[in-house]
Structure 1
Amino acid sequence: MPEKEKLRIDKYLWAIRLFKTRTLASDACKAGRVKLDGKNIKPSYEVKMGDTYQVAKGIERKVVRVTGLLENRVDAKTAVIFYDDITPVEQTQAFKSMFHAPVLKRDRGTGRPTKRDRREIDDLKDDYFDKKEEDSE
């Protein structure tokens, strides 16, 4: 794999497959979703070995440490060699738990919920989300 001495952060994030396109990586930098030591960085920022970046992608948050410089995009198995994902476990579990929220389904053809049904549904949702907040504290 060719390694470079100078490499832009947007190109690096694209090459290690954190973003699908280089434009998305560049836009994330411009919007302040890529940080180094809590400070926003520009897409042209030069990546250095050992630096730790905080990357926000939608609701997902990642903390990445640079272990190697990679100029061109490679397959996912190879890309993992060039960075360490040091995202705290709490953040990873919080992101995954968002996809396990209860899904309420109504029988087909029963029509719209009545006012009473709606109140019961709201109470059920409130109880579920209140428990989640108590568990995380």
Structure 2
Amino acid sequence: MIAPTRHRVLRSLAVLLLGLLVATAAIAKPSNKWRIKCNHRADVAGVIVLRLTPEGQAAVEVTVDIAKGTRENEAARTIRKAIKSSALGERYKIEIDDGEDVLIKRRSRQPNIDLEIVSNTADGLKIKTHRE
């Protein structure tokens, strides 16, 4: 049996990676309401990057600066403010729930939205998303 050439191996890897990207996109399930849960406090200053993607539209990345020592309630308020000041802030209702949660709700006639945490460098501050 002849060993595969380097070209075939690279082509196979490219096809595999493309398949994974397509599968990841297919997993996305936009919703009319999302919850961002904040827990604990930031041990260091950092940045949270969120990606919000309305169905059939371009994604909007929201960057949130988090100061060292920021606790969950303050983090939720900071995240809410950052999303409200983004391109989507007027199109979706953004509110605080239970002090440490941020709710993103679809307003009438707006498309459902997908939400993902791209990164969180504010070690100690835990951020999770939940589709509702």
Aligning the two structures, in what range does the TM-score lie when normalised by the shorter sequence?
under 0.3
Structure ranking higher in strand proportion: 2
Larger Rg belongs to: 1
Provide the TM-score with structure 1 as the length reference: 0.25
TM-score by length of 2: 0.26
